[in-house]
């Protein structure tokens, strides 16, 4: 079983490799305020940082119309310590696997007749 923190580290490693290969889609300059060490908010300066975009817009597909397992099947499929993001609304419950969300980031679902977007 792959632990979620290993998935995050693998994603960071991939980002570093892609940026080194020149596969960066775009970049822009942003100014970020620096904190003041004097305690005077007016003494804080700004520093320029470059914002880098590694993936194009909509490169990670959302999960639409997700399919769910019943409790018995989920117990067979997932480890007892699997991290999930859960929702309970109007007597309906859902559990979304965090490792699965790490690869897709958004699930478009309907719970108790209401459309929701689960994001990670």
- Domain definitions of the chain by residue range: 60-120
pTM: predicted TM-score of the whole model, two decimal places: 0.52
Mean pLDDT of 25-50: 58
120 within 8 A of 101, measured Cβ to Cβ: yes
Burial (CB count <10 Å: 0-12, 13-18, 19+), residue 98? middle
Mean per-residue pLDDT, 27-45: 55
β-bridge partners, 57: none
Q: Report the distance separating Cα 54 and Cα 26, nearest Å.
A: 8
pLDDT higher than 50, residue 24: no
Residue with the larger pLDDT of the pair 83 and 32: 83
CA distance 102 to 90: 27
pLDDT, mean over the chain: 75
Name residue 114's beta-bridge partners: 111
Higher pLDDT, 60 or 87: 87
CB 109 within 8 A of CB 118: yes
């Amino acid at each position: 079983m792959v632990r979620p923190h290993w998935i995050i580290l693998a994603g960071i490693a991939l980002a570093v490799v892609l940026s080194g290969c020149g596969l960066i889609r775009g970049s822009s300059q942003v100014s970020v305020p620096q904190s003041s060490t004097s305690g005077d908010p007016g003494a804080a300066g700004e520093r320029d940082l470059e914002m880098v975009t590694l993936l194009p817009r909509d490169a990670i597909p959302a999960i639409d119309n997700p399919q769910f397992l019943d409790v018995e099947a989920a117990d067979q499929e997932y480890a007892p310590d699997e991290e999930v993001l859960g929702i309970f609304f109007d007597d309906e419950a859902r559990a979304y696997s965090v490792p699965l969300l790490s690869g897709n980031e958004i699930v478009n679902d309907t719970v108790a007749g209401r459309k929701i977007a689960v994001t990670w």
